[in-house]
Amino acid sequence: EENLGEGGDDAAGAVARRTGAAIFPSLGEALANCDFSAVDIMTPHDTHEALATEAFAAGKHLLLEKPMAVDLDACDRILAAARAAGTVFMVAENAQYWPEVVTAGRLIADGAIGDLVTARASCIAFFDPLWYPDDSWRFEHGRAGGGIVMDGGAHWIRPLRMWLGEVESVVATTSRVIPSMQDESQAHALMRFESGLVATLEALTIDAPLWDGPWWRVTGTGGEVVIRSGEQGSVTLFDRDHPAGLMIAGEYGYGASFSREIEDFEAVVLDGKQPAAGPEQSLGELRTAMAIYRSAASGAWEAVW
């Protein structure tokens, strides 16, 4: 809602020139001046509650970027507003649609690696100015609500929940590697699931050259699924028939997760389809992040729910 001058050199102006979209300085002005059915909120985390409730009060369908809000009370209020509106509400966790994640889930469900034993998630990335410009709101605790675990780490936690079930409790440490970030830029966590399985989460953003290692390893009694992602992702199955690894064909890449997410939202709104995941599902990533923060402070296992 800032620096949206028409025809300017800002990002909004560039999008408007490319697409023919109209620019408004606030959601309220857009609601007052345009006839549309749905809102997609992609703003800093601390603005989600006010904008979401405004959209619901206007009777709009809503796709809201994760996290739903920066605290659970705000999430409860948003969910109540959605129920009162009776419109479609989805939280945009694109990992639910990530092609590599979906393929791995199918292999796991089909028993390709036997009974699950453990999983390792590695959310490690270069401190990219695309996501962290010098004046980024992501540096501020009051705006972001947390660091790498709450933000990018959610995309690694959701697949673990898809494959292993619900997280029961965590024990974790966090630290600040990027001095300009008020919240954590590094975290290590053990995650205990209701199924009894235990997985690990490693999250790190650092301004240094990094090895392009696997983002997930899911191990079972009969083998392992390894995911490498990015713009050109891959899924490799290791089993007794393929001890050196079998590349599973597919149309992979992180970018595809966003288009599939939007397609699902459209189908829910237009065709009455059930969403791949309801908005309450996103509370699992938020609660897991909050439990990690509590554990880092207490040094003990902390319950997620």
Q: What is the residue-level pLDDT of the chain in tens, covering all 305 positions? A: 333 433 345 788 898 999 998 999 999 999 999 999 999 999 999 999 999 999 999 999 999 999 999 999 999 999 999 999 999 999 999 999 999 999 999 999 999 999 999 999 999 999 988 888 888 999 999 999 999 999 999 999 999 999 999 999 999 999 999 999 999 999 999 999 999 999 999 999 999 999 989 999 999 999 999 999 766 789 999 999 999 999 999 999 999 999 999 999 999 999 999 999 999 999 999 999 999 999 999 999 999 99
Q: Which class for 125: exposed (0-12), middle (13-18), buried (19 or more C-beta within 10 A)?
A: middle
Are 229 and 252 a contacting pair, CB within 8 Å?
yes
Q: Which class for 221: exposed (0-12), middle (13-18), buried (19 or more C-beta within 10 A)?
A: exposed
> How many Cα neighbours within 13 Å face the side chain of 102?
17
Query: β-strand 198-206 against 116-126: which pairing, if any?
Result: parallel
Rounded to an integer, what distance in angstroms lies between the CA atom of residue 271 and that of residue 265?
Answer: 10
Strand order, beta sheet including 89-92:
38-41, 61-65, 89-92
pLDDT at residue 1, rounded to an integer: 36
Place of tokens 């020139």: 17
Rounded to an integer, what distance in angstroms lies between the CA atom of residue 147 and that of residue 203?
Answer: 10
pTM for the structure as a whole? 0.94
CA-to-CA dists, residue 282 to 22, 72, 93, angstroms: 31, 11, 7
User: Quick one: which H or E segment has residue 290?
Assistant: helix 283-298
CA-to-CA dists, residue 9 to 15, 186, 235, 295, angstroms: 10, 35, 40, 44
Tokens (6 digits) for 215: 């983002």
Radius of gyration of the chain, Cα coordinates, nearest whole angstrom: 20
pLDDT at residue 135, rounded to an integer: 87
Q: What is the chain's length?
A: 305
Rounded to an integer, what distance in angstroms lies between the CA atom of residue 273 and that of residue 264?
Answer: 8
Place of tokens 């023919």: 20
Are 195 and 162 a contacting pair, CB within 8 Å?
no
User: Quick one: which H or E segment has residue 265?
Assistant: helix 255-271
If we measure between CA atoms, which residue out of 260, 211, 213, 263 comes closest to residue 103?
Answer: 260
pLDDT at residue 103, rounded to an integer: 98
pLDDT at residue 147, rounded to an integer: 97
